[in-house]
Structure 1
Amino acid sequence: MMDNEEQARAFCDERADASAMLRLDRFIAMLAQENNQQNLVSNSSLNFVWQRHIADSLQLLDHVPRGTSPWLDLGSGAGIPGLILAIARPDMQFVLVESRRKRVEWLQQVKTEFGLSHCSIHGSRLELVESHEMAVITARAFAPMPKLLNLSARFSTRSTYWVLPKGRSGAQELKEQPEAIQKMFHVEQSATDGEAGILIGTGRPPLG
């Protein structure tokens, strides 16, 4: 596990090319500036932005086969992880869903700044987004697992990967799910926080 910003940046450098790293530097500057206008992330997290946000997002790439796309990011908010992944990986497709107007404006601003034609942004509730088959579904602080799965199952197939950062509650949250969901998912330790977990699963949730 990484312990500082230097290690976090090196971690990201292994998962993004030189031009992507420059874009991520620009994104961090934009994020800090926008954070003065709206509370996208905690101010304290900006002191550890590579570890808390950039590496925390890019580590999700390690849990699916290389190049797998499109990704669906639920409740994108500040763009973590979906927008960061899109900035780093222009060879892949990303779909971001966010219902809050100011957050949507921010996401659109960054998309325009970096010319992210491979990234689409839906400024609405997930329930209003047309169903499309997604190769990967991710979400960070979107909703408790039952609601998350119920709302997004229609975007999944038998081969869809679920990569769900759940912080320090991940293992406990999985234990509270029905047996079929417990069998579908397992917990991987986060590379950025020794006490945090990522729920990894494959397939279509067996919803009742």
Structure 2
Amino acid sequence: MITSEAEARAWIAARPEGDCVALERLERLAALLAEENLRQNLVSAASLPQTWQRHFADSAQLLAHVPTAQAGPWLDLGTGAGFPGLVIAVLQPEREIVMVESRARRVEWLSRAAETLGLAKARVIGKRLELVESFPAAAISARAFAPLDRLLELSARFSTSDTIWLLPKGRSARDEVNRLTGWNHLFHVEQSLTDAEAGIVVGTLPGSNKKARTR
């Protein structure tokens, strides 16, 4: 379990993606986040002293569930302050990262942060998810975006049978999976590395983006 800023930094640095360039970009992202948080409430002010643990490592841990060889765009829904979207873009700058965010001020922040950090393959779609044109995503993430059943209704159209879903759900993770009906899914819950009481819904939707027939 990652319980401090020092442990979070060390854990990220030990990952294959945690090279010097990535670490420098994350340092810059932390500074940009703190600066912007004075203008708009991106994250809780109380969480800023634990940015590496609460936001960076919390986002980066999702990479452990994505095969290294898997190619294709990563779709992050309701990116907000940039988590996990911007962190994934920093750690995998060669991958196309698509961040969907409907709030104009946050769209501006995400675009500016990506440009400042030199993340050429990260892009922001400033629309409600319902208005975003469908495309096949290799991975789909969402942090506190919507309840699991509603999330699938909105975003299953971006999924193929190979798409990996990565959904930090806090304490509700196991309950949401257990209550999910009407979907042909292979979801399970992984323990969060940054919160002993939190879980991450991980898995796939076999049969592409269609609901399973109920019997």
| Post-superposition offset of 1:88 | 1.9
Q: Which residue of the partner structure matches residue 207 of structure 1?
A: 211
Q: Which residue of the partner structure matches residue 118 of structure 1?
A: 121
Q: Which residue of the partner structure matches residue 47 of structure 2?
A: 45
Q: Which residue of the partner structure matches residue 57 of structure 1?
A: 59
Taking only aligned residues, the RMSD between alpha carbons, in angstroms, comes to 1.4
| Post-superposition offset of 1:3 | 1.4
Q: Would you say the 8 A contact 2:96–2:122 is kept in 1? A: yes
Q: Which residue of the partner structure matches residue 3 of structure 2?
A: 3
Aligned residues: 207
Residue type of the alignment partner of 2:139: V
Q: Which moved more, 1:36-45 or 1:165-174?
A: 165-174
| Post-superposition offset of 1:207 | 2.4
Percent identity of paired positions between Structure 1 and Structure 2: 53
Distance 1:137 1:189 in 2: 18
Distance 2:200 2:141 in 1: 10
1:18-33 → structure 2 map (5 Å cutoff) = 18-33=20-35
| Post-superposition offset of 1:202 | 1.3
- Please state whether the residue corresponding to 2:23 is helix, strand or coil: helix
Distance 2:5 2:118 in 1: 27
1:56-135 → structure 2 map (5 Å cutoff) = 56-68=58-70, 69-135=72-138
Distance 2:209 2:134 in 1: 15
| Post-superposition offset of 1:206 | 4.8
Q: Which residue of the partner structure matches residue 144 of structure 1?
A: 147
Ranges of 4+ aligned residues in structure 1 off by more than 3 Å: none
Q: Which moved more, 1:170-179 or 1:73-82?
A: 170-179
> Cα deviation per residue 1:1-44 (whole Å; 9 max; x = unaligned)?
11111111111112211110000000000000100100000011
Q: Would you say the 8 A contact 1:150–1:207 is kept in 2? A: no
Distance 1:180 1:149 in 2: 9
Residue type of the alignment partner of 1:107: L
Distance 2:77 2:183 in 1: 23
Match of 2:165 among 162, 166, 171: 162
Q: Runs of 5+ in structure 2 lacking a partner?
A: none
Q: Runs of 5+ in structure 1 lacking a partner?
A: none
Indicate yes or no: 2:156 matched with 1:153. yes
TM-score when scaled to structure 2? 0.92
Distance 1:79 1:30 in 2: 11
Distance 1:114 1:22 in 2: 10
Distance 2:134 2:176 in 1: 27
| Post-superposition offset of 1:179 | 6.7
Q: Do the aligned partners of residues 96 and 67 (structure 1) sit closer, same or farther apart at CA in structure 2, a change above 3 Å counting? A: farther
